[in-house]
Amino acid sequence: MSRDVQDLVEEARRGSRPAFDALVALYRDRLEKFIHSRLGPALKARVEVDDVLQETLLQAFCTIGRLQWRDEEAFVSWLGTIAERVIRHAANKER
Cα–Cα separations (whole angstroms), residue 20 to 33, 61, 87: 19, 7, 22
Neighbours of 48 (CB within 10 A): 12
Predicted local confidence at residue 93, as pLDDT? 85
CA 40 – CA 89 distance, rounded (Å): 14
Task: Give the predicted TM-score (pTM) of the model.
Answer: 0.92
From the number of C-beta atoms within 10 Å of its C-beta (0-12, 13-18, 19+), residue 44 rates as middle
Q: What is the mean pLDDT, run by run of 10 residues, along the chain of 95 residues?
A: 86 96 96 95 92 98 95 96 96 82
Per the structure, the count of domains in the chain is 1
Predicted local confidence at residue 31, as pLDDT? 97
CATH number, residue 71: 1.10.1740.10
CA 54 – CA 60 distance, rounded (Å): 10
Domain that holds residue 43: 2-94
